[in-house]
Amino acid sequence: MIVFSRKLADQYQNKLNEKFPEENFIYCDTIDEVNTYIQDTEVYVTYASDINEEFIRKAVNLKWIHVLSAGVDNLPFESIKKRGIFVTNVRGIHKIQMSEYAISMLLQVYRQEKPLIKNEENQVWDKDAVNLREITGKTMIVVGAGAIGSEVARLGKAFQMHTIGVSRSGKKVEHFDENYKISELNQVLSQADFVISVLPRTVETKDIFKYEQFKAMSNHVVFLNMGRGDAVIEEDLLKAIREGEIGHAILDVVKEEPLPKGHPFWTEENITLTPHLSGLSPEYVHRALDIFEENLQIHRRNEDSYVNQIDLTRGY
Binding segment (CB under 8 A) for its own copies, from list 2-10, 121-129, 239-247, 302-310: 121-129
**Nearest-CA neighbor of 272 among 299, 251, 242?**
251
- CB of residue 32 vs its own copies: minimum separation in angstroms? 24
Residue numbers 285-314 binding its own copies by CB under 8 A: none
**Which one among 46, 213, 281, 295 touches its own copies, defined by CB under 8 A?**
281
Quick check: 257 binds its own copies (CB under 8 A)? yes
Quick check: 97 binds its own copies (CB under 8 A)? yes
Quick check: 261 binds its own copies (CB under 8 A)? yes
Contacts 24+ apart (CB under 8 A), 64-73: 64/88, 64/295, 64/299, 64/306, 66/291, 66/292, 66/295, 67/310, 68/285, 68/288, 68/292, 70/94, 70/200, 70/279, 72/48, 72/310, 72/315, 72/316, 73/201, 73/315
Cα-based angle 272, 274, 278 (whole degrees, multiple of 5) = 125
**Which one among 29, 53, 54, 126 touches its own copies, defined by CB under 8 A?**
126
Phi, psi of 32 (to 5 degrees): -60, -40
Sign of the alpha-carbon dihedral angle for 228, 231, 233, 237:
negative
**Which one among 262, 269, 301, 302 touches its own copies, defined by CB under 8 A?**
262
User: Binding string to its own copies for residues 212 to 241, with x set by CB under 8 A, is what?
Assistant: ------------------------------
**Which one among 212, 283, 304, 311 touches its own copies, defined by CB under 8 A?**
283
- CB of residue 163 vs its own copies: minimum separation in angstroms? 13
- CB of residue 158 vs its own copies: minimum separation in angstroms? 3
